[in-house]
Chain A
């Protein structure tokens, strides 16, 4: 199993550009989520999904869109990048509601918005 994979590893965007961060898992997990991690801080939940076709907002959803058309994939779209979105983004998955199960994390995408 590859686990949770994320692409790209690094990305530099100009303000106003859009892009999609990819996340895929091969563990047949129902639950997937996106977090951002800023320096000296823990992870903050952006969006999550409890299954294909079902998504919901986390703590900091503004400026981001998600969709879940398959169990395996959960892309995160930045609609119009802003410098405040400079961060490291982590995707995670687990069998069901993350609170009751361990989450498996991807290696992260380091995004810089200039």
Chain B
């Protein structure tokens, strides 16, 4: 079974609105990462948050991590049509040495112009 699960599975918003995606995981982790995948392409790394961090920003992205609830959220502010993509969280469990990153099923975001 997969470590990370994203919610919602799909999200449709208007350009300029904010998009929030959530990720829950099952076991204690070292780090959590978010990736973006445009249709038919490989994944692109967005941001990494370590287990001792609670919040991280990168441009229009804000990621939070709550290790007590085993959950993370990705907020994209002022969304653009170019943000249309699938977004995945990825975790590595504490006992895997960082070598076995597990991906969730992803959230498909559609931003309408």
B98: chain A residues within 8 A (beta carbon):
96-101
- Determine if B99 and A50 form an interchain contact, defined as CB atoms under 8 angstroms apart: yes
A contact residues, range: 20 to 34
A43 is contacted by which of B30, B88, B99 (Cβ under 8 Å)?
B88
Considering only residues 51-80 of chain A, those with a C-beta below 8 Å from chain B are 56, 58-59
CA distance A103 to B103 in the complex (A): 12
- Contact bitstring B30-41, A, C-beta under 8 A = 1, else 0: 110100000011
A48: chain B residues within 8 A (beta carbon):
99-100
- Determine if B102 and A59 form an interchain contact, defined as CB atoms under 8 angstroms apart: yes
- Determine if B105 and A40 form an interchain contact, defined as CB atoms under 8 angstroms apart: yes
A3 closest partner in B (C-beta): B42
- State the A residues within 8 Å of B (CB): 4, 31, 33, 35, 40-45, 48, 50, 56, 58-59, 90, 92, 96-108
